[in-house]
Structure formats: C-alpha cells, structure tokens
Amino acid sequence: MRGSQLRLCCFFSVSGQRNIDNKIYFSVIFPTARHSLKNFFTCSIGVPNFPEYVASGSIDDTQFVYCNTSKRIVEGKSDWFKEWLQNQDNFKIFQERCFAQAQPIGKNALNEILHDLNLHEGVHILQALGGCEVDYYKNQSSRFFRLGFDGEDFVTLDMNSLAWISQNDRATSIKHKWDLDKGRTDFFRYYYTIECPIQLSELLKVSNTFYILSLNSGLQYHIQAAFGIHAWRRQVKLGL
C-alpha cells in the first residue's frame, strides 16, 4: 500500500492516509513496545497414545501455531496465522521448521540424555522452552533456553557465557559434555540471538497486517453506513 504506514509498537491509535488512488488506508499502532516469541516442545518415548514430538509457538504468551509429528500436522491457533498458512509456501516453511529442523534436535537431545543416564526402557519425557523478548523502544533484547526431563528442571543455557547450567545432580554429566560441544551452543546462541528476533518481527508484521485489513473493512462498513444514514435523512428532509 503506497503511502500507508505500519508501525509495530507504540500507544494504541488509528490514523488514516489518502493514497494516490484516492483511497484512505489506516495504520494501527499497537499498545506495547515489548514483545516476545516463545517456542515450546515435548519429545517423549514410551508414552502410549501420545505423539513422540509436539511443539507450539506463542507471541506475547498467546499461542499461534501447533505441530504434531505423529499426525504430521501444522495448525494455526490464531486467525491471522490460519490465514497466513493458507499460502502453501508459508505452510511449507513451518512444516520444515517443525518436522525437519526442530524434531531432530529434540530427539537427539533426548537420546543423549537417556544414554548418559543409562536409561534404556520406560517412559521418559524431555521438554524445552526457549525464546526471545525485544523492547523496541529501548532497542534491547533478551533470550533464554531451558530443558526439563521427566518432570524436573534439567539444564539451562547461559546465553552470555554459553555455558550449560545443571539444575539437578542427574544433569551434571550431560552439562559437561554439552559445554564441550561448541557447535551446539553456537547454534542456540545464533538462533535465539539473531533468528528469533527476526522471526518475531516478521510475525508481528503478518499479524498487524491482518488486523489492519480487518480494521479497514470494519471502518469502511461504518463509513458507508454513516453516509447512507446521512443520505436518507437528506431525502426525508427534502421530501423525496
């Protein structure tokens, strides 16, 4: 939209601008400068009737996507993301992220922990929560990644020192092994420091565009209704 303006973060307001085609486009300024993107996954073994891998993503603690490898599905959980996924190229992007990228990372981590703890049978569950938060006013960001195993906190990654911090005695051995794996820590540092804020910004643009279009549609309806009422009143007054 030439001549229109999209601002991601500020106090909530609506403004209009006339385009070259003489149409008015409206921009929405959203109510906060701070936004977050969080990814959560569960990787399991031996759990009956439960997928080996499920994952979800949330923006500002509101879920927008869910994937399940057992059913091979990627689902939008918000209106704006459901619409975005209707584009097959967009759908393939998140299908790739879930099934080809994130799932192998989770399964490899679970297998390493099971081997390290000498666990070869039974029910075991690995859960991960990672994300980033960006303050667009202050131009500051933070990031985190932590793992839980069998219902207990297991390890967290210090994004500054790139050292793994064990959260219980069972995690001590794997903490030392992963500290020596520079490729692993570099991957998580890069993803949550660089990729995560970029993805957050892109997703905010998608959601903002959706709500702008919805708002434009609603405003157009009210404008048309207002002009219709005005014309009807004029006709009544003139006795037409």
What local confidence, expressed as pLDDT, does residue 120 receive? 87
What local confidence, expressed as pLDDT, does residue 27 receive? 38
Per-residue model confidence as pLDDT tens digits over 225-240:
444 444 434 443 444 4
CA distance 44 to 228: 60
Per-residue model confidence as pLDDT tens digits over 192-212:
999 999 999 999 999 888 776
The verdict on residue 126 lying in a domain is yes
The verdict on residue 46 lying in a domain is yes
The verdict on residue 111 lying in a domain is yes
What local confidence, expressed as pLDDT, does residue 116 receive? 96
114 has pLDDT over 80: yes
Give the mean pLDDT of the chain. Answer: 80
Q: In the predicted model, what is the mean pLDDT of residues 31-43? A: 89
The verdict on residue 17 lying in a domain is no
pLDDT-derived band at 214 (thresholds 50, 70, 90) equals low
Q: In the predicted model, what is the mean pLDDT of residues 66-72? A: 89
pLDDT-derived band at 213 (thresholds 50, 70, 90) equals low
The verdict on residue 232 lying in a domain is no
- Which amino acid, 26? F
Q: In the predicted model, what is the mean pLDDT of residues 217-221? A: 45
Which segment, 8-17, 83-92, 143-152, is predicted with the most confidence on average? Answer: 143-152
pLDDT-derived band at 69 (thresholds 50, 70, 90) equals confident
Q: In the predicted model, what is the mean pLDDT of residues 161-189? A: 95
CA distance 85 to 68: 16
The verdict on residue 3 lying in a domain is no
The verdict on residue 109 lying in a domain is yes
Question: Which residues are registered as beta bridge partners of 73?
Answer: 68
What is the domain count for the chain? 1
The CATH number covering residue 163 comes to 3.30.500.10
What local confidence, expressed as pLDDT, does residue 71 receive? 85
User: Which domain covers residue 56, as residue numbers?
Assistant: 34-203
Greatest alpha-carbon pair distance for the chain in Å reads: 91
Question: DSSP string covering 52-110, please?
Answer: SEEEEEEETTEEEEEEETTTTEEEE-SHHHHHHHTSHHHHHHHHIIIIIIIHHHHHHHH
What local confidence, expressed as pLDDT, does residue 182 receive? 94
The verdict on residue 124 lying in a domain is yes
